[in-house]
Amino acid sequence: MALFDDIMGKVDEVAGHLGLPAEQVQAMTATLQGKLGSGSDQLAAIEETAREHGVPVETIQALVSHADLSGGIGGFLASEAKNLFG
């Protein structure tokens, strides 16, 4: 998915913005991608990823917001997460 390619392509930048190690950002991205790839509901995937990695949902939202949100799943995730979590 282009969303995840974008995150992984600038993992150091994203990690810096989140204040997390790049390895953790990579792991969270892989978890989220796996959940979405297996058909999980997008919002549930965000919540489950946050819970599994011991971070607030807002951290996963911020991770997604750093990707290219010009459309597709990225735009949908950002929009729905913003609506759900403010």
Q: Which two tokens stand for residue 26?
A: 């990579």
Question: E strands within 1-86?
Answer: none
Q: For the purposes of burial, counting CB atoms within 10 Å of the CB of 63, is it exposed (0-12), middle (13-18) or buried (19 or more)?
A: buried
d(CA 42, CA 46): 6
**pLDDT tens by residue, 3-58:** 566 666 778 888 888 899 999 999 999 999 899 888 888 889 999 999 999 999 99
Residue 70 reports pLDDT greater than 50? no
Residue 72: pLDDT band with limits 50, 70, 90: very low
Q: Taking the model in full, what pTM does it have? A: 0.72
Task: Answer yes or no: are the C-beta atoms of 56 and 43 closer than 8 Å.
Answer: no
Average pLDDT over residues 62-84: 60
Q: Is 4 helix (H, G, I), strand (E, B) or coil?
A: helix
